[in-house]
Amino acid sequence: MDSLLTEDQLMLRDMVRKFAKERIEPEAGDNERNHRFPQEIINEAAEMGLMGIAYPEEFGGAGMDYLSYMIAVEEVSRACASTGVIISAHSSLACDPIFRFGTEHQKQKYLPSMLSGERIGAFSLSESNAGSDAGATQTTAKKVGDKWILNGSKLWATNGKQAGIFVLIASTEPELKTRGVSAFIVDANTPGYSVGKVERKLGIKATSTTEIILDNVELSEDALLGEVNKGFKIAMVTLDGGRLGIASQALGIARASIEDSIKYAKERKQFGQSISKFQAIQWMIADMWCQYESAWLLTWRASKMKNEGLDYSREAAMAKLMASEAAMFCANKCIQIHGGNGYTEDFNAERYYRDAKITEIYEGTSEIQRLVISRSLLKD
Ligand SMILES: Cc1cc2nc3c(=O)[nH]c(=O)nc-3n(C[C@H](O)[C@H](O)[C@H](O)COP(=O)(O)OP(=O)(O)OC[C@H]3O[C@@H](n4cnc5c(N)ncnc54)[C@H](O)[C@@H]3O)c2cc1C
């Protein structure tokens, strides 16, 4: 697959791979088990430009393409899926909509501090009654004079505890449902804004996933992102990009599972020989690699289409669906190849398995990806 990457992309990959191996991997398991946000690692990643890879240099980004971003998220996630999604949620879900839909003033105001990693971003769409049905949002934004007043509570914001800037979806005309929601840029220092419940989770425990409470949060007119009542479209376009970030995270988990499986299979001896000599193990590794490479190619293609400004919504859904299923498949087989050791915390296999599951749920469940794909194939 190296032949599909440019010199610059290969250089970036090697640089991030080295950073992930030397700096992220050694503390990944400990951070995850102890619910510890890897702030120092994020600071170092920011110094390397990883918090703004695919954004123009004029806003403080690294000026690289979307494929480079995909490669970096995969490499980081190969060492630590929590760190991978911290970068992905920040970059795809918060920086991207501001870059894409923001006014020049909003871009100048928010992007430099976000792309430098000084302020982490988050995206808040989900609510207790609005998950897959994202348009059912009950948080309201009412225009009073020249201010917007936001009330309600959002759920499951990745980076919720650390984020300084949120892109948040609220209902501006509830009776219009999806055609009556708008997107806002919310500074976490605004009075009335607070972080509520912090979720305890199965995996990616080094990330924070939080409730966001909005109690008469007063925003100026220029907090509105894009046009009024066009927030659902902004959220959907944002999620297309986000799905490539999650596909890349899933690819990282899948590759980690394969590499650890190969190493273990060569070392572990049973019946007087290395278990890698058994065809049952060889076939598992072959199946894992096929799933990984198929998903990688889909993700590569969708990232290329995004780069070229093409409509890539279906391709992003396909990449996310297949990469998340590859991650689950590979992590499951990784435990199997490790036998009893795979079930213990002495090896990484159990972390990969727990981390893999979320990739089938957030930024649209696998069922929703199938809905996006089939709708686009069946439309007249
Ligand atoms: C760790 C974590 C981090 C998250 N981070 C964020 C974040 O940063 N920002 C954010 O806004 N949200 C975030 N979420 C929320 C996440 O995107 C939602 O959990 C997800 O979209 C599913 O919504 P739900 O949980 O309400 O499930 P539901 O929508 O209630 O779905 C339950 C089941 O029904 C199925 N289903 C629902 N509708 C259909 C349908 N039409 N056809 C077929 N099947 C259907 C689903 O696929 C699923 O199997 C996060 C969640 C978690 C757990």
Span 18-50, pLDDT tens digits: 999 999 999 999 999 999 999 999 999 999 999
For a pLDDT cut of 90, what percent of the chain falls above it? Answer: 98
Please count the other Cβ atoms lying within 10 Å of the Cβ belonging to residue 200: 8
List the catalytic residues: 363
> What pLDDT is recorded for position 329?
98
The reported pLDDT for the residue numbered 27 is 97
Residues 254-266 as b/e (b if ≥16 CB within 10 A, e otherwise) read bbbbbebbbebbe
User: From the alpha carbon of 126, which atom of ligand 1 is closest?
Assistant: 11
pLDDT score of 95: 98
Are residues 257 and 331 in contact, defined by beta-carbon separation less than 8 angstroms? Answer: yes
Cα separation, 27 vs 208, whole angstroms? 17
380 has a pLDDT exceeding 90: no
Nearest CA to ligand 1 atom 14: 156
Site to probe by mutation for ligand 1, drawn from 361, 371, 373 as the one with most ligand atoms within 8 Å of Cβ, is 361
Ligand 1 centre from 338 Cα, in Å? 31
DSSP string, 163-185: -SEEEEEEESSGGGGGGGEEEEE
CA of 116 to the centre of ligand 1 (A): 30
Work out the mean pLDDT of the chain and round it to a whole number.
97
DSSP code of residue 193: E
**pLDDT of 135 above 90:** no
Amino acid at 230: K
Report the SS3 class of residue 131: coil
The predicted-structure confidence for 83-116, as pLDDT tens digits, reads as follows 999 999 999 999 999 999 999 999 999 999 999 9
Rounded to 5 degrees, what are φ and ψ at 111?
-65, -45
Give the Cα separation of 71 and 82 in Å (integer): 16
Encode pLDDT of 274-298 as tens digits: 999 999 999 999 999 999 999 999 9
User: Which pLDDT tens digit goes with each residue over 315-364?
Assistant: 999 999 999 999 999 999 999 999 999 999 999 999 999 999 999 999 99
Q: Who lines ligand 1 at CB under 6 A?
A: 89, 123-126, 131-132, 156-158, 201, 209, 358, 361-365, 367-368, 371
Give the integer Cα–Cα distance in Å for 331 and 348.
10
CA pair distance 242, 319, nearest whole angstrom: 11
Residue 242, both tokens: 């986000």
User: Looking at the predicted structure, is the pLDDT value of residue 184 above 90?
Assistant: yes
| pLDDT higher than threshold 90 for residue 270 | yes
Q: What is the pLDDT of residue 245?
A: 98
Q: State how far the alpha carbon of 182 is from the alpha carbons of 12, 76, 101, in Å.
A: 37, 33, 12
Q: What average pLDDT does the segment 186-192 reach?
A: 98
Residue 367 reports pLDDT greater than 90: yes
Instruction: State how far the Cα of 365 lies from the Cα of 58, in Å rounded to an integer.
Output: 36
CA of 115 to the centre of ligand 1 (A): 28
Backbone angles phi, psi at 167, to 5 degrees: -100, 120
Query: CA–CA separation, 183 vs 191, rounded Å?
Result: 19
Domains of the chain: 2-115 (1.10.540.10), 121-229 (2.40.110.10), 233-378 (1.20.140.10)
